[in-house]
């Protein structure tokens, strides 16, 4: 089945005749292959860190961490798909 994803998504394919994982925007998914859509939208994590200065005075340090894939780096996309895509709400490709 031929699959195409939105501009902010990538398609990851595993299974028959694919050694590790294939990350692409469009692909022909054969039988015995699994496909999954992953978002390329960065996720913001905001929290406050308890810290102390040199005079031992405590203060709260607001921190923001942005986690997302580098869409111009194929190796980075593969690593993102392997490590972090399972922790987000991803949609499976339907066989319709």
pTM, full prediction: 0.68
Choose among 56, 15, 12, 62: nearest CA to 36: 12
Is residue 64 within 8 A of residue 49, CB to CB? The reply is: no
Rounded-to-integer distance, Cα 69 and Cα 17, Å: 25
Q: For residue range 37-83, what is the model confidence (pLDDT) as tens digits?
A: 988 888 899 999 999 999 999 999 999 999 888 888 889 889 988 88
Residue 21's CB is within 10 A of a number of other CB atoms, namely 15
Choose among 69, 79, 72, 76: nearest CA to 20: 79
Q: For residue range 9-27, what is the model confidence (pLDDT) as tens digits?
A: 999 999 988 888 999 999 9
**Where in the chain are the domains?**
2-92
Helix (H, G, I), strand (E, B) or coil at 31: coil
């Amino acid at each position: 089945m031929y699959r195409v994803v939105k501009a902010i998504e990538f398609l990851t394919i595993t299974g028959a005749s694919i050694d590790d994982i294939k990350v692409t925007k469009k692909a022909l998914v054969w039988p015995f292959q699994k496909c999954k859509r992953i978002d390329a939208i960065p996720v913001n994590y905001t929290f406050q860190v308890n810290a102390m200065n040199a005079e031992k005075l405590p203060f709260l340090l607001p921190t923001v961490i942005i986690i997302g894939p580098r869409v111009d780096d194929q190796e980075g996309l593969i690593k993102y798909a392997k490590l972090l895509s399972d922790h987000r709400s991803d949609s499976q490709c339907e066989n319709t």
